[in-house]
Amino acid sequence: MFGYIIPEKPELKIREYEAYRAYYCGVCRAIKTNHGNLPRLTLNYDTTFLALLLSALFEEEPNMEDCRCAIHPLKRRKMITNSEILSYAADMNVLLSWLNLADKWEDDKSQIAYAGMLALKPAYLRVTAKYPEKSRNIHEQLKLLSQLEANRCDSIDQAAEPFAKLMEEVILYPLIDSSDKDHERNKKALPWFGYHIGKWIYTIDALDDLESDIRSKAYNPFLYQYWKREASGRDTKDIKDLPKDILEAAEFNLFATLSEIAKSFELLQFKRHKDIIGNIIYQGMQRKTETILRKGKQP
Amino acid sequence: MRDPYEVLEIDRGASKEEIQKAYRKLVKQYHPDQYHDHPLAGLAEEKLAEINEAYDILMKGGGASGTYRDNSSSWNQNTQNTSSGNTNSFYQEVRLHINNGNLSHAEKMLDQSNAQTAQWHFLKGVIYQKKGWYSQAMTHLQIAVNMEPGNPEFRSALNAMGYNSQVYRDRSRQYGRRDMDFCDVCQCLICTDCCCECMGGDCIPCC
């Protein structure tokens, strides 16, 4: 589910790449500060994107410091420190990771997932206590998603909706109201942006899992929407036998979503790093989409 | 008012041509047609106004001349209902609800009637598009066009869906590409001169 939102590294300038990494390391550090060392293992690129985005939109002067990293002890690294926004991103990282593990435990009864849940439980409780309303909204959306999946929802749009709404909730950083005109504009554009980010993540994850879902006979909205029941049999049919329709439809949906992400991105007012985020949206996510589509098209 | 150079995304000391080029690029990007019927159309309009103001300042009080000021080819115009002269008030009311952003109410009205006419599918498609349900939107718009192929409103909505994705793809292909700078121009001239000399001419006599 996570790790699809990445930059197109070769197209980043070196200073942009270092800035991106400063956020990645900064969130890692923030997780440690808020929740201790173990939850740092759940750090992912999506949270880095969240931190970078919110900081670029709302943070006046992010604090960059040279720090030591336990994993890379030889050289000090620049990282963002003492940031409310990174602290928020760290908390969201923990929340979403715990929920992801809970989902794996529900679906597959995975022992590793259960162990992860136990390890993350204290951190998870801390976050839900800190953001009670947000956590409640996120839980509700996940409950809706479980219901849709249990009822074998046969519309990718409908199935993606709860996760899209969830990301909309996550991306709405609880900003203290200010008279900054840019903040007002950004607050209008962010929900549409967040919704489509969530929709893209869910859709691309469903597409990526298509092959394995066929084998394991797990629920996949694409299969239920585009695969005729009478042909289903559902016994290990290879992805190459899938109708062309699924891939065509997935391509349309993903690019329509990317187009809306881009449109709302262009309406956001950034204080800095618009180039890095543009790289992620126009190049990183585009490449990821093409790669996964091509994987499905290969004989 | 923000720094006009920042608004037009150009460097200070940009020439008039560079200002005009930047202005044209941004107007194309934030043109009402790009955000036609879009939930964020208001924001795009604000951004366009900001761009126009910045351009006017930099071109030294050029006023309205040369700036794009048209205010939206809006979905509202279509409430005159161009569909085969049908002025069904039920569909008028659905359109009104869509215009006001009451998507769930509009959808409920359509679901209750379940008329499944071309107009019904078209409006269903529009609602789904505004909700962000693009596959469903495409399905219904396609049915509407199949049922009434001659209807320009239906066809234009269907085409617009494909067009948006194409705009994204084009922009991502161009992203990060810089404009020609002096080094590029010089290289081109030298190559031109070499080719010219190979053919017996001489583009730049001193090289």
Of the two residues B75 and B164, the one the predictor is more confident about is: B164
Tokens of A182: 């840019």
Q: Is the pLDDT of residue A117 over 80?
A: yes
Q: Is the pLDDT of residue A235 over 50?
A: no
Say what the pTM is. Answer: 0.83
Smallest CA-to-CA distance from B40 within A255, A290, A187 is with A187
- For chain A, give the percent of residues with pLDDT over 70: 92
DSSP 8-class letter at A108: H
Collapse the DSSP code of B63 into the 3-class scheme (helix H, G, I; strand E, B; otherwise coil) and give the result. coil
Of the two residues B166 and B79, the one the predictor is more confident about is: B166
Tokens of B89: 């008030």
Whether A255 sits inside 8 A of B171 (CB atoms) is no
Smallest CA-to-CA distance from A260 within B175, B28, B129, B177 is with B129
- pLDDT of B87 reads 44
Report A:151-190 residues touching B (Cβ under 8 A).
Answer: 155-158, 161, 164, 185, 188-189
In Å, what is the CA distance from B188 to each residue of A295, B174, B184? 40, 21, 6
Tell the burial category of B68 from Cβ atoms under 10 Å away from its Cβ (0-12, 13-18, 19+). middle
C-alpha A246/C-alpha A248 separation (Å) is 6
Q: With the CA atoms of A259, A261, A263 and A265 taken in that order, what torsion angle do they form, in degrees rounded to the nearest 10?
A: -150
pLDDT, tens digit, for every residue of B19-33? Answer: 888 988 898 889 888
Lowest mean pLDDT among A15-19, A231-235, A262-266, B17-21: A231-235
Report yes or no: B66 at the A interface, CB cutoff 8 Å: no
pLDDT, tens digit, for every residue of A177-229? Answer: 667 778 888 988 999 999 999 999 999 999 998 888 877 878 889 988 877 55
Q: Which residue of A has its CA nearest to B128?
A: A157
- pLDDT of A81 reads 87
pLDDT, tens digit, for every residue of B149-183? Answer: 999 999 999 988 888 888 898 888 878 666 666 77
- Write the ipTM: 0.82
- Tell the residue number behind the tokens 């107007």, with chain if given: B27
Smallest CA-to-CA distance from A193 within A94, A39, A53, A66 is with A53
Rg, Å, chain A Cα set: 20
- pLDDT of A1 reads 77
C-alpha A218/C-alpha A239 separation (Å) is 14
Whether B132 sits inside 8 A of A164 (CB atoms) is yes
Rounded to a whole number of angstroms, the distance from the CA of A48 to the nearest CA of chain B is 22
Report yes or no: A216 at the B interface, CB cutoff 8 Å: no
C-alpha A215/C-alpha A237 separation (Å) is 7
